[in-house]
Amino acid sequence: MNKTNVINIIKEKLQNLFNFYSTKKYSEVINRGLPLLKKNPELNILSNLISLSYHNLGEHDKAILLLEEALQVNSKDFSVLNNLGLVHTSLENYEEAEYYLERSLKLKKEYVSGSVNMANLKLKLNNGQEAINILEKILVNNTDNYEINFTLGNAYQQIGNFDKAKSCFNKCLDLDKTKTIADKSLSLITKYTEDNKHFVHMKEKINLKKTFDMESLSHLNFAIGKAYEDMNKYREAFYHLDRANKIKNTLINYNFQNEKKLFENIKKLFLNFNHENITNNTENKIFVVGMTRSGTSLIEQILSSHNKIYGAGELNFIQNIVTKYFMKNELDFQNLNINNYSEDVFFKSKNYYNNNLKKFKINKELVVDKAPLNFKWIGLIFKIFPGCKIISCLRDPMDVCWSNYKNWFAAKKLNFTYNLENLGNYYNSYKDLMIFWKNIFKDNIFDIYYEDLISDPDNKIKELIKFCNVEWDDNCLNFHKNKKIVATASLAQVRKPIYKSSIKQWENYKNDLDALKKIITQSLKKH
């Protein structure tokens, strides 16, 4: 076979792999791509494709290994460096991420993908204006680039500049109407009426469903459902929100039984926990935990308005520590007794957390980590950071579950939210575990109820600040003026003063939520 024929065969195989990748058949890319890469190790384009497939499947270590091997073939391949930065960003290895992205952009200054990834890194580090500056600069010569406009819209959205965010998302919709993630993003910062142009366009688009893949169809239904809710058309809203969730649920692989086993193992791990010294040390950490949509973003916004408190957002550091030092896999621990672990592992855990925190360039005394699902690891948090403050956000179970169901989440760890039965069972497991923690740690965990905060904000915020052991700051009552980055589904709500319309909102859908209510009610009777 001559050289030309060989090249053509390789090109054909690469095209097939790109097709698999574009349709999210990542395992197919890996299985077919690895043998081809073995024969052609110099094909960094193939290394990139396979590594990104690993990355999308959550196998980040394999992605990094493959990219590092590709870098040995060509140390100046800006695309490989860029992808290393991308993977390290997702792992919250911020120092490594910045190192690789800077190298990539030095080699290719007008590099769209590299610039976008650097901007996303800056957003992760709460540097919203830096992210915007990077994107605005690259946008000058790439005005019709979808990725730049969408990321810029996201950046403006997170810092609370909703007018500019809307302009960016509308530009995205002009560029590509099939990418409905822009519809969903725009819906979060829009108050809809019947004659709203975007609402009209979305209704037109939904009738062209054959144009969209299933993920895009789910996004569009979430957006339309939100619009109908704004108009108090609850039957229509539920139809679209329920449809959005059911579509999304077909695209994920979630098994509540695995989650249930994990919760049970956590309790076994800490059953005989020696917690006598948890208040003997002073720590500068405040952990805000609870169910997602329970008010954690609001609490962080209030706290970070204080002149001595820095809001770091939702950090995955604790979860990373768990998988790095304590768990063999998602279900089993090395040892079902926390007292059997050496002090060295807790020392390493603390160093890991603090070293990753350094990239935030914090100039305040206290730091808030508001990853809601850290409620699973309260015992471990106290072990690593004795004397830290833990704030537990509580909300009416039906309201919190409904608020989860009507929102789309990027994080795979929230896949339980797309099915009402899974959602109800997860809530019950959460509630059971929190009772377990409260029995151990008692008043060292500060409970704050969303409904109490809404009805009596002045007093509840003062109680919150007192628990954090800092002097009062009037700025905490004006939290909605806080310009810090907010990257959660609450990004629009926390920019507003306290309002009561979110209380008992689930009752607008009570006929459709009977099964959920039954699951939760049965659990409440047990406690």
- What φ, ψ does residue 485 adopt, rounded to 5°? -65, 135
What CATH number has the domain spanning 1-109? 1.25.40.10
Q: What is the pLDDT of residue 527?
A: 55
What is the C-alpha separation between 164 and 136, in angstroms, rounded?
12
Q: What is the pLDDT of residue 12?
A: 84
What is the C-alpha separation between 360 and 287, in angstroms, rounded?
17
Cα–Cα distances in Å, from 211 out to 22, 176, 220?
15, 12, 12
Residue 280 pLDDT exceeds 60: no
Q: Measured in whole angstroms, how far is the alpha carbon of residue 336 from the centre of its chain? A: 29
Q: What is the pLDDT of residue 330?
A: 58
Do 322 and 377 touch, CB atoms closer than 8 A?
yes
Q: What is the pLDDT of residue 208?
A: 80
Q: What pLDDT band is residue 375 in, cutting at 50, 70 and 90?
A: very high
Please indicate whether residue 324 or residue 82 has the higher confidence score (pLDDT): 82
Radius of gyration of the chain, Cα coordinates, nearest whole angstrom? 24
Q: Whole-model pTM?
A: 0.91
* 497-526 pLDDT tens trace: 777 788 999 999 999 999 999 999 986 656
How many residues would you count in the chain? 527
Please indicate whether residue 491 or residue 412 has the higher confidence score (pLDDT): 412
Mean pLDDT computed over every residue of the chain? 91
How do 285-290 and 389-394 pair as beta strands?
parallel
Q: Which CATH class is domain 256-526?
A: alpha beta
Residue 1 pLDDT exceeds 50: no
Same topology between domain 1-109 and domain 256-526: no
Q: Parse the chain into domains and list their residue ranges.
A: 1-109, 256-526
Collapsing DSSP to helix, strand or coil, 359 comes out as helix
